[in-house]
Amino acid sequence: MDERIHPSDARPDASDDRVAPVASVPRLGAQEVKAAIRDGRELALLDVRDEGVFAKKHLLFAASAPLSRLELVIDRLVPRRSARIVLTDEREDLVHRAAEKLAGWGYRDVSVLRGGIEAWREAGYELFSGVHVPSKAFGEIVEHELGTPRLEARDIQALREQGTDLVVLDSRPIEEFRVMSIPGGLDCPGAELVHRVNEVVRSPDTLVVVSCAGRTRSIIGAQSLINAGVRNRVVALKDGTMGWHLAGLPLAHGETRTAPPPSAEALARSQAQARAFATRAGVGTITHADLARFRSEAGRRSLFVLDVRSPEEYASGHLPGSRSAPGGQLVQSTDLYIGTLNARIVLVDREGVRAPMTASWLVQLGWPEVHVLDGLGTGELETGPEPVRVQSGQGSDPAWTDPHTLRDLVDRNDVVVIDVENSLEFRKRHIPGAWFATRRRFHDLLGKVPTDAAIVLTSRDGVLATFAAEDLAVGGREARVLLGGTAAWIAAKLPLEEGSEDRVIGIGEDVWYKPYDWTTDQEAHMRGYLSWEVGLVEQIERDGDARFRIVRPDDDGGQAA
């Protein structure tokens, strides 16, 4: 792990959510922030509330950068220390603490939205619910503008029963596909569709159905194949697996079938199709010398070098300094990978299919400078998963506890275990008897445990728990950290339990819950989610800040939407 240590990290008492405004941090009014969004310059608009709270209402182009996880996400979202940053929250409750942290890590141009998003609302500006809203809204506008063909679940099932030659390609990552999928479908994540379709579909008479969990990736996936000029009839499954379930049709679970990689002949066809559409969208190709120049300019121009292949291919060999961002997910949740508006983007793959197709979508999403790198080059490649670049304070190293020692303490009921990673993961499996709380909610949890209780903190790998131990130390409570985190506990084959929602502090606050993550009223959550997606078109129009540029399959340019 590449850990960067920076000057002092001021941390007020962990039990205090409110921090008085710091005189040196500029406070911008809503009108000023609105102007910054529209001026075309680089801007990192970061909301520092936990993601589940952020999802209830936020600015359209705000990226989620929770104060509870800021050390882990800031370098990924805003790599340039001189980038212009505006922080938002509810009512200036958290932004000043976040600003102090950023200053300690070397960020030099940080402001806050005066009065928070409530002041934004009072100024008459639009607030959005949900996550990855620009990408989600874009998908709806693509369908609206281009008339992306779609079929409802029962229509597809009827075609199957009639013996129609059809294939269902699920455009989600394999982890999501395993959870639930259309029976008989093949997993083929977004950027893989054009890359693999010519291998999967051998007959021009085969109907190609593109599916996802809801709407966006079905729409973008189907339109990708149409844009590339695939000869088959292509449709999106309306409302994805949620629509299939709501239609009363059975879903498959635990499936692992994937679309096969292309043969040389199929790949050549896909390459030609991807190049042709990327050219129509105005996507350019750069050399490795160009990339070297971009890197030399990264101190004054934010640069994101993103490898859009699968995580497995990335791990097997990638360009030094590049990050893993599978193409379909990059389009579906751009703000998760790029936290700086108007930044310079370079996309990388090996064969020249996934990067051009993904770039064509980013251009249409309104990103002004998107390039495709001419292959991986001939230099030495790095291997392994993407490194996590962590910002750190100056706190002392915590005391550690190994898994087997903790097991003994748990068995004797002599410890309070607090998991700080993710409430969804916690519900699936956790150390027996553990509690879950974000760092922001420690004061609520500590009120439920004896003041002299021994505390052990854990997270997925122990890193986030280390920062949480620093917070508790500032608040006057000592805590140990599980060495290697929950992953080490699992590797030691120690017992786990699931559920325990009564020991989750602030359920639904730390992360956004998908409709099928809820344990009750799943169908109501599904219907609400699908209605929300459709309603984004009108809300985007009211907001007025999106600069989408839709390119039709037969266009030489594009039209603003």
DSSP character string of 42-103 = -BEEEE-S-HHHHTTSB-TTPEE--GGGHHHHHHHH---TTS-EEEE-SSSSSHHHHHHHHH
Q: Give the pLDDT confidence score for residue 393 in this predicted structure.
A: 61
pTM for this entry:
0.92
Assess whether 404 and 286 both reside in one domain. Answer: no
Residues 406 and 288 in one domain: no
Domain membership of residue 487 (yes or no) is yes
Between residues 241 and 472, the one the model is more confident about = 241
Q: Does residue 130 sit in the same domain as residue 156? A: no
Residue 24 scores a pLDDT above 70: yes
Averaged pLDDT of the chain: 92
**pLDDT for the residue 559:** 52
Higher-pLDDT residue of 37 and 559 is 37
Answer yes or no: do 415 and 356 share one domain: no
| Residue that terminates a domain, selected from 462, 485, 503 | 503
Beta strands 416-419 and 455-458, pairing class: parallel
Q: Are residues 17 and 103 in the same domain?
A: yes
- The closest of 44, 14, 67, 169 to 391, measured between CA atoms, is 67
For residues 151 and 43, membership in a common domain is answered with no
Kindly report, residue by residue over 359-393, the tens digit of the pLDDT.
Answer: 999 999 999 999 999 999 999 999 999 988 898 76
pLDDT on residue 396: 66
Contact 319, 381 (CB under 8 A): yes
* CA pair distance 546, 131, nearest whole angstrom: 16
The answer on 345 and 403 residing in a single domain is no
Residue 14 clears pLDDT 60, i.e. is over it: no
Q: Are residues 306 and 411 in the same domain?
A: no
Asked if 118 and 221 sit in the same domain, the reply is no
Give percent of the chain with pLDDT exceeding 90: 86
Per-residue pLDDT of 52-92, as tens digits, reads 999 999 999 999 999 999 999 999 999 999 999 999 999 99
Cα(60)–Cα(42) distance, integer angstroms: 16
Q: How far is CA 394 from CA 17, 104, 106, in A?
A: 21, 10, 14
The residues with which 28 forms a beta bridge, in sequence order, are 113
Instruction: Identify the CA nearest to 340 among candidates 27, 94, 81.
Output: 81
How many Å is the Cα radius of gyration of the chain? 24
33, two tokens? 């922030």
- The tokens for 79 are 């790599």
Please write down the long-range contacts of 323-326, taking CB distance under 8 Å and 24 or more positions apart: 323/76, 323/386, 324/385, 324/386, 326/173, 326/189, 326/190, 326/191
Look up the CATH number of the domain holding residue 487. 3.40.250.10
Q: What is the pLDDT of residue 15?
A: 35
Confidence (pLDDT) at 70: 96
Helix (H) or strand (E) holding 294: helix 288-296
pLDDT (tens digit, 9 = 90+) per residue, 194-213? 999 999 999 999 999 999 99
Residue 522 in any domain: the answer is no
Q: What pLDDT, on the 0 to 100 scale, is given for residue 561? A: 57
Q: Does 13 score more than 50 pLDDT?
A: no
pLDDT-derived band at 3 (thresholds 50, 70, 90) equals very low
**Tokens matching residue 536:** 């984004």
Which of the residue ranges 5-19, 177-191, 197-211, 283-297 would you say has the lowest mean pLDDT? 5-19
Which whole number is the average pLDDT over 165-187?
A: 97
Average of per-residue pLDDT across 238-242: 97
Widest CA span in the chain: 71
**pLDDT tens digits, residue range 286-343?**
999 999 999 999 999 999 999 999 999 999 999 999 999 999 999 999 999 999 999 9
Does residue 553 fall inside a structural domain?
Answer: no
> 302-311, 438-447, 505-514, 549-558: lowest mean pLDDT where?
549-558
Strand ranges for 316-444 from DSSP E: 323-324, 344-348, 369-373, 389-392, 399-401, 416-419, 435-436
Q: What is the pLDDT of residue 19?
A: 45
In whole angstroms, give the CA distance from residue 424 to residue 507.
Answer: 9
First to last CA, the chain: 42
Place of tokens 């008492």: 13
Rounded Cα gap, residues 60 and 543, in angstroms: 8
At a CB cut-off of 8 Å and minimum separation 6, what does 191 contact? Answer: 308, 309, 326, 327, 328, 330, 354, 357, 358
Q: How confident is the model at residue 531 (pLDDT cuts 50, 70, 90)?
A: very high
Decide: 355 and 347 in contact? Cβ < 8 Å.
yes
Please say which residue of 224, 252, 274 terminates a domain: 274
The whole domain housing 96 covers 2-134
Using a pLDDT cut of 70, give the percent of the chain over it.
Answer: 94
DSSP per residue, 309-329: S-HHHHHHSB-TT-EE--HHH
Helix, strand or coil, per DSSP, at residue 497: strand
Domains: count for the chain: 4
Please report the pLDDT score of residue 520 as a whole number.
87
> Is pLDDT of 17 > 90?
no
Q: How confident is the model at residue 449 (pLDDT cuts 50, 70, 90)?
A: confident
